[in-house]
Structure 1
Amino acid sequence: MSLTSVSRSIVKKVLAVETPEGAGALVRRSIGSMTLKNLTPFLMLDHFHVAEGAGFPDHPHRGQATVTYMLEGTSQHEDSAGHKGTIETGGMQWMCAGRGIIHAEMPVHAKGNPDPRGLQLWIDLPKEVWIPEPSYQELGPGQIPTAYPEGPDGPVKIRVMSGKSYGVESPVRPLGGCWYFHVTFTGKATIFQDIPAGWTAFIYIWKGSIAVGEETMPNPTFHTLVLSAEEGQTGVKLTAGEEGAEFVLAAAEPLDQTVFQYGPFVMTTREEIQKTLLDYQMGINGFEKARTWKSIIGNR
């Protein structure tokens, strides 16, 4: 860490409590919950667990990007634009819903394999890019570049899903921009991750514990930590507890725009939401297959 490195600190801490969602799935929701409703441009963060017989069958989206990252197990996806595939453990899908899409996300269960568990992050799109056609950026488990702050044999590795860390940069180019890292400490260690000035940033922990900045008490699992964004702060200092830690760190430029969200639709005005509902009901403006399309995986 250089002499000019100034760490952010925690301004809010939210425990993600497990609750039912979709068709029998369980999620720990922090961003998008009543305790952390808005964190521009981040709209929602779910840590999901999909048991056998559960899933997320056919449902629409408009106006946001959804980022699915598999921590364990495997998940299939299929959409009304003809795109389908499988996200394996350690793989990621960055979907821009754009003007509209209908899709299904369903688990793959096999004897001896773990239940699918992962993270889904929703990111608001700048209003000037809300109307593109739906698009995907996908990285398989072996395609996500990894940074090793203390070398390949050291106690820290950072999977760079988007953005850059310790000289390693992801090929993913999200609309609006976003940095997204999966950080693993195998034991107690300290790193400093640069973050662009003024960007909104948060951490979600699912294993072990970490201390942020100069604090001495580590923060435990299943907490989302919202970081400060004061002038002069260049990044965040992270120190793992004795047992190590595993978490994601995300950062993106805040958007100066209102958010009107109705379920899977995200727009800037109530009128735009009403128009979206009408488009979906009539099957137009991106939802042409709303009345006729049914996924295979969501209707087995």
Structure 2
Amino acid sequence: MRQQQNRRYVLAVVASEEASDGAGVRLRRAIGIPALEDVGPFLLLDEIHSSDPGAYIAGFPPHPHRGFETVTYMLSGQMHHRDSTGGEGVIGGGDVQWMTAGSGVIHSEMPAQESGLMWGFQLWLNLPSSQKMRPPEYIELKSQAIADVKLDKFNVRVIAGEFEGATGPAPGRPTRPLYLDVRMDAGAQHSFPVPEGHDCFVYVYDGALSVDSNGANVTVPAKSTAQLSRAGSVAIETMTGASFLLLAGMPLGEPVARAGPFVMSTQSELQTAIVDYRAGRLVKTPVTE
């Protein structure tokens, strides 16, 4: 790639880590690890990718959240969601579940299959302090509602934000998130516009790519995250093909207090969330199996 101005540069390339969550689901954690605790408003990114039922069948039984949003995006397989707002549904390949925990929710995410490939991602998106106690909300975005932009040697699914005139179906949020799923063929290259001032990262879930970083090509291998600077576009090319998530969001510039499934702005609020959960006050009607 030739050096051009107004390009974001790579701050770090971090390999995801093997982890276990829920009732023993094996996954890879890309954000929310010691080497990359967060990227602005993005607090966690997990990838489940396995054809072994033993790696995912136990699922994520009922558990609480407060103060942020979870965004689940499936590539393959089926996941059954239930929560204390009455929200319920099964999402499959290409579908998105956008759940706002807000003041408090208890939900479960259980595999709706006993065999086959399970491949998907869960993202945690922070809420500003003024909205941490907003009412919970559950939104399902079916695959056919997600714009698919096809360009020379690559295509882009627009889940949130805008790309090439297409707007994602995700709800509007103060962090103005951009969420793209990009599949690039061998020899493809493109400069992706990203809102100025937004925190930004790329997570490569298949193949490998390079990012033009101040005129130098930085390789990002599979199952790794590239954290990028806050100004300019993201210039990407691939020699052998790659599939990746490109996400960006406006930084909140607020303190973060987090412990397990709760994300608040102060330690006092965090302790209140824990006490409320233990006392049965986090939500009015907990989900039951």
Settle same-fold status: TM greater than 0.5.
yes
| Matching residue of 2:271 | 274
Q: Which moved more, 1:102-111 or 1:83-92?
A: 102-111
User: 1:147 touches 1:167 (CA, 8 Å); kept in 2?
Assistant: no
Where 1:276 maps in the other structure, the secondary structure is: helix
Q: 2:138 aligns with which of 136, 139, 142?
A: 136
Residue 55 of structure 1: how far off its partner (Å) = 0.7
Contact 1:190 1:240 in 2 (8 A): yes
The residue aligned with 1:298 is none
Aligned-partner residue type, residue 65 of structure 2: H
Contact kept, 8 Å, 1:283 with 1:289, in 2: the verdict is no
Helix, strand or coil for the counterpart of 2:86?
A: coil
Residues in 1 aligned to 2:172 and 2:70: alpha-carbon distance in whole angstroms: 11
Other structure's SS at 2:171 match: coil
Instruction: Give the structure 2 partner of residue 208 of structure 1.
Output: 207
User: Alpha-carbon deviation of 1:171?
Assistant: 2.5
Deviation at 1:209, TM superposition (A): 0.9
Q: Which amino acid aligns with 2:236?
A: L
Q: What's the CA shift string for 1:14-42, capped at 9, x where partnerless?
A: 10022222212111112110111132211
Cα distance in 2 for residues equivalent to 1:62 and 1:263: 10
Q: Following the alignment from structure 1 to structure 2, what is the Cα–Cα distance between the partners of residues 49 and 221?
A: 13
1:287 aligns with 2:283: yes
Do the aligned residues in 1 keep the contact of 2:10 with 2:218 (CA within 8 Å)? no
- Amino acid corresponding to residue 195 of structure 1 in structure 2: V
Residue 217 of structure 1 and its aligned partner are, at CA, apart by 5.0
Moved over 4 A (4+): none
Q: Choose which of 235, 242, 258 in structure 1 pairs with 2:255.
A: 258
Q: Describe how 1:1-300 pairs up with structure 2 within 5 A.
A: 6-49=6-49, 51-52=53-54, 53-110=57-114, 113-114=116-117, 116-148=118-150, 150=151, 154-176=152-174, 177-213=176-212, 214-216=215-217, 218-229=219-230, 233-241=231-239, 243-284=240-281, 286-290=282-286, 293-295=287-289
Q: TM-score, normalised by structure 1?
A: 0.88
Is the Cα contact below 8 Å between 2:85 and 2:137 reproduced in 1?
no
Change (3 A) 1:216 1:135: same
8 Å contact from structure 2 (residues 8, 229) kept in 1: yes
Offset at 1:117?
Answer: 1.6
Any idea what SS the aligned residue of 1:142 has? helix
Q: Note the alpha carbon deviations across 1:112-145, whole angstroms, 9 max, x for none.
A: x32x221101011011111211112321121110
Of all paired residues, the percent bearing the same amino acid is 36
TM-score (norm 2): 0.92
Q: Which amino acid aligns with 1:203?
A: V
Offset at residue 5 of structure 1 (A): 6.3
Please give the alpha-carbon distance, in whole angstroms, between the structure 1 residues aligned to 2:48 and 2:33.
14
Give the direction of change, closer, same or farther, for the CA distance of 1:4–1:135 in structure 2 (3 Å limit). Answer: farther
Cα separation, partners in 2 of 1:164 and 1:22, compared to 1, 3 Å: same
Q: Tell me if structure 2 keeps the 8 A contact 1:25–1:49.
A: no
2:39·2:201 contact (CA, 8 Å) conserved in 1? Answer: no
Give 5+ residue unaligned stretches, structure 1: 296-300
* Inter-CA distance 5–103: structure 2 relative to 1 (3 Å threshold): same
- Letter matched to residue 233 of structure 2: G
Distance in 2, Cα, partners of 1:260 & 1:279: 16
